[in-house]
Structure 1
Amino acid sequence: MSIIKNDFEKMNITKIKKAKNNKKLTMITAYDALFAKLFEEIADIILVGDSLNMSFAGKPDTLSATLEQMIYHTNAVCTGAKKAFVVLDMPFGTYINKDEALKNATKVYQETNAAAIKIEGGEDRADIVSHLTKNSIAVVGHIGLMPQYVRSEGGYKVRGKTNEDKEQLIRDAIAIEKAGAFCIVIEGVLSDVAKEISEAIFIPTIGIGAGKDTDGQVLVWSDMLGLFEEFKPKFVRHYLDGATLVKESVAKYKEDVQNKSFPSKDEEY
């Protein structure tokens, strides 16, 4: 299978917005320089997701991720993928009001090369998004199932199951678009509802567990490559049996050490 490389040297907000109804956008998470470099020439957007708190740090949810962690990992990603379009996921508690949001987003811009930030919320966060974009901060919105709301919502719940909720999601998307976001992540939403949301706005939508009719898709890299074993969300497709391959490789390494076949003469000085 040939590797389809992205025209990453020219990727910017204008190009992302022009992808609407023209090209499906590919977003993937990364948390370090090594994997960011592997993804750089393929993905349209690299998201330094607060999902790192679960897949990288082993926590039960994303809520304890800190801004310092996100900045650290974003710097690693930007170092490994210098030409990529990198988005930093603003962690829980860093945008509780307009002033805090701007202060923390400014810190992100000053201390990293992130091209944009992502924040969760719909109509209730539109004033914050507006304040950020009016102060030269590029924003990706995030509506639907929002991991930072997991405790207040009582778990991870699929959205759009009632007409009332569908209408609210559409209002959320329109409000975030009007506030100045250049694209919106839609997570955990019924596919037909995600399609309606995408058709209701003029900026691209990036789906995760939201069907095929959004303007792009995003997956957590460790989910996609089959390295996260605790559970497999319904919306995840494994493109590699990574956990098995890694375990088999490490077991072979151990075997070679114990039977003295590693290192060989060719691997000695």
Structure 2
Amino acid sequence: MSTQADSKPWTVPALVEAKRAGRKLVMLTAYDAGFARAMDAAGVDLVLVGDSLGMVVQGHDSTLPVTVADIAYHTAAVARGLKRALLVADLPFQSDATPERALDAAIALLQAGAEMVKLEGAGHKLEVIRFLAERDIPVCAHLGLTPQSVLKFGGYKVQGRDAAAAARLRADAQAVAQAGAALLVLECVPSPLAAEVTAALAIPTIGIGAGPGCDGQVLVLHDLLGLDSGHRRPRFVKDFLAQGGSVAGAIAAYAQAVRDGSFPDDAHSYAS
């Protein structure tokens, strides 16, 4: 367990301080107060109420059906279980289509207990990030495999493998940081590219299928516990319940593995 577990609650400025200090950030998804309490006790630094709930909680085939009301409900539940971890909530599909819509959604999620909102993509989303940041709403950007773009991608595929795609991802990462994002999730990105992006940015990166070179890692809770979500298990998923022996043990084992650099290893990353 981290020595941070007994210290003051995490704040947005503390995330950058952690990056500068070389301290790996541990992030997990949660959808209720009970698991949130377990994560807090294990020293998890950031908890994400992800639109992944559409697949692992609601049983949908994608994240697209999730609504702002869904995220707000689960955010409120998770917030009641946290005292230390920083709570991040997803802006669901098309709730961030315009700056004004994103502001309305973000206000609802912050009022439910979130301390940061996460949105996917760059392009026109840069205006949204800037709009929210200028109104003192912390934003986590999300690049690489963005699940809300699954129809455009034609499935859940690794991003940034060819030179042109890698160049776009590098440029987008710089752009979201310049627009005001305080954190960046990189999903399903080749490890060397994710490490390069991480080194180039002042803001922290959180990887999921993006190798060990990121400033931290995130997994979906159900994947960490080895639960069958009804979908193909990605390469980057590891069952920590088998290792930890209990829910609390699994979360603690994951946190320790992220901090000591043993997860993700080559078997849970993409080389190219």
Normalised TM-score (structure 1): 0.86
Distance 1:26 1:140 in 2: 15
Distance 1:141 1:201 in 2: 13
Distance 1:15 1:161 in 2: 32
Provide, for residues 114-159 of structure 1, a one-character-per-residue CA deviation record: whole Å limited to 9, x for no partner: 1110000123311110000001111000000000000122111111
Q: How has the CA–CA distance of structure 1 residues 197 and 123 changed in structure 2, closer, same or farther, with 3 Å as cutoff? A: farther
Distance 2:219 2:141 in 1: 16
Distance 1:233 1:63 in 2: 19
Contact 2:222 2:229 in 1 (8 A): no
Contact 2:9 2:86 in 1 (8 A): no
Paired residue for 1:10?
9
Contact 2:209 2:236 in 1 (8 A): yes
**AA of the residue aligned to 1:13:** V
Shift in Å at residue 179 of structure 1? 0.8
**AA of the residue aligned to 1:11:** W
Structure 2: tracts of 5 or more residues without a match = 248-272
Provide, for residues 62-107 of structure 1, a one-character-per-residue CA deviation record: whole Å limited to 9, x for no partner: 0000100100000000011143310001100101011111121122
Distance 1:109 1:99 in 2: 15
Q: How has the CA–CA distance of structure 1 residues 197 and 124 changed in structure 2, closer, same or farther, with 3 Å as cutoff? A: farther
Distance 1:49 1:238 in 2: 19
Paired residue for 1:122?
122
Distance 1:14 1:150 in 2: 32
Shift in Å at residue 229 of structure 1? 5.1
Distance 1:207 1:241 in 2: 22
Paired residue for 1:171?
171
Distance 1:229 1:186 in 2: 22
Bigger Rg over Cα = 1
**AA of the residue aligned to 1:50:** D
**AA of the residue aligned to 2:4:** N
Paired residue for 2:233?
232
Give 3-state SS (helix, strand or coil) of 1:211's partner.
Answer: coil
Distance 2:193 2:149 in 1: 20
Identity, in percent, stands at 40
Normalised TM-score (structure 2): 0.85
Give 3-state SS (helix, strand or coil) of 2:217's partner.
Answer: strand
Q: How has the CA–CA distance of structure 1 residues 150 and 229 changed in structure 2, closer, same or farther, with 3 Å as cutoff? A: closer
Paired residue for 2:250?
none
Paired residue for 1:105?
106
Distance 1:74 1:46 in 2: 10
Query: How many pairs are equivalent?
Result: 242
Q: How has the CA–CA distance of structure 1 residues 53 and 229 changed in structure 2, closer, same or farther, with 3 Å as cutoff? A: closer
Superposed counterparts of 1:42-53, under 5 Å? 42-53=43-54
Provide, for residues 185-227 of structure 1, a one-character-per-residue CA deviation record: whole Å limited to 9, x for no partner: 0001011111111112110000000000010000001101111
Distance 1:10 1:83 in 2: 4
Q: How has the CA–CA distance of structure 1 residues 245 and 44 changed in structure 2, closer, same or farther, with 3 Å as cutoff? A: closer
Matched, 1:94 2:95: yes
Contact 1:142 1:187 in 2 (8 A): yes
Distance 1:46 1:245 in 2: 19
**AA of the residue aligned to 1:4:** S
Distance 2:15 2:126 in 1: 21
Structure 1 ranges of 4+ moved more than 3 A = 3-8
Q: How has the CA–CA distance of structure 1 residues 103 and 211 changed in structure 2, closer, same or farther, with 3 Å as cutoff? A: same
Distance 2:202 2:215 in 1: 11
Distance 1:124 1:169 in 2: 15
Contact 1:227 1:241 in 2 (8 A): no
Shift in Å at residue 245 of structure 1? 9.0
Give 3-state SS (helix, strand or coil) of 1:119's partner.
Answer: strand
